[in-house]
Amino acid sequence: MSKSDNKLIRVAKYNTELNSIINMDFDAFTIYRSKGLLTHLINSKHYVAAKYIDFLPDIIKKPDYAGYYNNHIELVKCYRDSIFISIKLDAKNNHHYVATIFDIKKSKIDSYVNSGRLKIVNIPN
């Protein structure tokens, strides 16, 4: 285990059913988050997103919207708040991790859908 592995927490496996939605062909891989992510969110005053940190596995497994943009998989799940996460694909270090998490307004989601950046996910439960 490398030194950087000690700073990461396994969150979920990538849902390969998303491949057809985001027009990619990824094999299943493990997605991590930094142990310091919650502290970072609180220090940055991202309190809404911080409330959903334990929802990351659900967001990754069953997002409502998905896209691929700038070497990141972007996922949105709509709870009481809509939560956007971006998964950085770091093939060089073979670590795929949650790079960003924040709450997002419906108007912004609609804008991303209209531009093609995000697509609606219709994966049966």
Quote the mean pLDDT of the chain: 91
The radius of gyration of the chain's CA atoms, rounded to the nearest angstrom, is 14
Report pLDDT for 124. 62
pLDDT of 3 above 60: no
Report pLDDT for 94. 74
pLDDT of 2 above 70: no
Q: pTM, whole model, 2 decimals?
A: 0.91
Q: Examine residue 125 and state whether it is found in any structural domain, yes or no.
A: no
Which residues, listed in sequence order, are joined to residue 30 by a DSSP beta bridge?
Answer: 13
Give residue 63's domain range.
3-120
Per-residue pLDDT, averaged over 55-72, amounts to 96
Q: Could you read off the pLDDT of 101-120 as tens digits, one per residue? A: 999 999 999 999 999 999 99
Report pLDDT for 91. 73
Report pLDDT for 7. 85
Q: How many domains does the chain have?
A: 1
List strands edge to edge, sheet with 30-34: 8-13, 30-34, 95-103, 82-90, 72-78, 65-69, 119-120
